Amino acid sequence: EQAERNRIKSIPVLAPRGKILDRDGRIIVDNRASYSLILSREAAKPEHLKPIAAGLNMDPAVLEARVERFKQRPRYEPIVIKEELSPRELAFVEAHRDPDTFPELELIPAQRRLYPQGGFAAHVIGYVGEINEEELNSAEYIEYNPGDIIGKFGIEREYNHTLMGVDGQRQVLVDSRGRERGILGIKEAKPGKNLQLTLDLDLQAVAELAMEGRKGAVVALDPRNGEVLAMVSRPTFDPNLFAGGISAAAWRELVNNPDNPLLNRAIQAQLAPGSTFKPIVAMAGLESGVIDENFSVSCAGGATFYGRYFKCHLRGGHGRVSLHKGLAQSCDVYFYNVGNKTGVDTIAKYAEAMGLGSKTGIDLPNEASGVIPSTKWKMRMFRQKWYAGETISVAIGQGAVAISPLQLAYSVGGLARGGVFYRPHLVKTDKLEPPKIVKFNPENVQKVIAGMYAVVNEGGTGVRARLPGISVCGKTGTAQTASNEKAKTHKFLDNAWFIGFAPCEAPEIVVVALFEEGLHGNLAAPIVRDVIKAYFDKKARITSN
C-alpha cells in the first residue's frame, strides 16, 4: 500500500478568481498568468528546508513555520510556499527540482490578481491574501483550507464566495525517483464568477483626478436606485502589493503611515459635516412646525446663547435672514436660532430618519455608523444630561455630530427625491430592494431644495459648483477639527465639505466631496462640479449616439 501511494502524486489545479467589471462591462480587475511553487510533503525532507529557503530569498524560520502549520493536514496535501517567483527564483527551482536534489518542489500554473495601477478604486475593490488562523477558525470560512487565497478587503472580501472558484486536481503517476510517468486523472477547476459593479469608470477617473494630492473622499450616488457611481478615498494604496503576498516591510509601511491609506474615508471617516448638515436641521424645523419659511433673525456677526457668544462665519453679519437666505449664505446665526427652537432630540429624530448616525448597509465591510447626538445618546455614552447650549453647535453640524461622506450622500439624495431612500450598493442587480420612505411635506422639501439651488446659482457660498445648462443644487460645509485658538499648525486646518445634486427638480446624481484640511467648503465645490459635469457629458454623448 505504501509503495502504491508513493507512485501517485496529487497536484492542485488552481481556479482563477472571477473578474471585476464596471457598469458598462469594462474590466477593472483581471488575472494574469503566473506560477506558484508548491512543496510535496510526501517527498519533503526537513534538512532541505533551509537551502530551499535560501534559494527562494525566504527566511528559513518562515518556511519552517509554514510547513508546521500544515502538520495536522493529510500528507498528500501539498503546500504553496511561494506565490510569485522572480526570474532568478524560477531558475533556482528549475535547476534543483530533480529527484537528486529537491524532489519535493513543484511549479504549478496560477492566475494572479492584476489591479489597476496607482491605487485606482483600491478602497472599493480591496485585495486578496492568504487565509490566516483566525479566519480559518471562524464560521464564515469553515469550508476553506490553510493556504487558500481569499478576499481580505473591499469587494474582494464582501463577495469572496462569488469571486472565488473551486480548485481542481491532477493525479499523476511517478516512478521511484519522483519523475512523472503518466496522468491518472484530472478534476477540472471551476473558475469564480465575474462580478459587475455599479461603478462608472469614467466618473471614477474624474473623481480620482480631482482628489489627486489631497486627503479625503468623494462619493457619487444615483439617488433613484442607490447605485454607487464613483467612490474615492485618498491617500490610497496599491492592491498589487498584496497579489503575490505582501512583504512584512511593505505591510509595516502601510499600517504605520500616519495618513492611514488603508482607511476607506468614504465609509469609515466619522467627521463633523459642518454646514452640509444645515439642510437636515432646516427640514427638522419645518417638519416639526417650529419654523416656517418666513421665520427670520437678525445676524450681526454672532449671537449669545446661554451666556456664551457664538460667532457667524461672516464677521460683519448677514443682516435680516430667513430660510432661503440662511441656506444660500450659510448663516450660522440663523441656524443657531433654528436649532435652539427645534431642540436636539427633534434634530436627531429627523437626521436619523434620513439615515445619519447608522450604517447605510452598503455592500462593503467595516462601514462606520457615525454619531447623531441626543439627550438619550449623551446619557447612554457619558451618564450626563444634555445642556441646551450644546444644541447650538449641533445646529451647524459641529459638536458631537459625526458622519461619513456616504451617509451624507444617502441622506441628502433621499431628501432631494422627496423622502425616498435607496440603500447604497456597489454590485449591479435586477432585484432592487424596496426603498425606505419618509413622509415629508413636499412643500417643505421644495423650500430646502430652493435654498440649496440658491447656494450655487444665486450668489451663495457654492457658486464654484455652477454648471451652464444644468441646475445644480448644493451646500458648502466648513468643519472645525480644533478650536481656532489651537489651529496654529497645518494639522488643525478645517475640513472642507460640499454636497451637490442635479438636476434640482429630479435628481439623477448626488455627489459628496470631503477635502480634509481643505480650509473652506467652497474649495470642495469644484470637485463635485467636475463629477456632475462628467455624468451629464457622458449622458449627452450616449443620447446623441
Query: Which residues are catalytically annotated?
Result: 275
Helix pair angle (405-416, 442-457), 10° resolution: 120
DSSP 8-state assignment for residue 101: S
Type and span of the H or E element at 457: helix 442-457
Rounded CA separation 223/420 (Å):
8
Paired strand residues for 219: 231, 512
Secondary element (H or E) of residue 302: strand 302-305
Give residues with Cβ within 8 angstroms of 205, minimum separation 6: 120
* φ, ψ of residue 364 in degrees (nearest 5): -140, 145
Contact 269, 479 (CB under 8 A): no
> Which amino acid is it at 6?
N
- C-alpha torsion sign, points 195, 197, 201, 205: negative
Q: What is the DSSP letter of 322?
A: -
Q: What is the CA radius of gyration of the chain?
A: 29
How many residues comprise the chain? 545
CA distances from 377 to 340, 345, 487 (A): 18, 10, 29
Name the grid cell of 241. Answer: 502589493
Q: What phi, psi does 80 have (nearest 5°)?
A: -80, 115
Residue 309, burial from CB neighbour count under 10 angstroms (0-12, 13-18, 19+): exposed
CA distances from 219 to 50, 82, 90, 425, 483 (A): 50, 38, 43, 12, 28
Q: For residues 207 and 533, what is the distance between their CA atoms, to the nearest angstrom?
A: 11
| Number of other CB atoms surrounding residue 227 within 10 Å | 23
Specify whether the CB–CB gap between 230 and 200 falls below 8 A: yes
CA dihedral 411, 270, 207, 327 (to 10 degrees): 50
Place of cell 448663516: 331
What whole-number distance in Å separates Cα of residue 149 and Cα of residue 131? 6
Residue 177's Cβ-count burial label (10 Å; 0-12, 13-18, 19+) is exposed
**Distance of alpha carbon 202 from alpha carbon 206, whole angstroms:** 6
Q: How many CB atoms lie within 10 A of CB 185?
A: 10
Grid cell locating 305: 446663547
* Residues in CB range of 527: below 8 A, 6 or more apart: 207, 210, 211, 218, 498, 513, 515
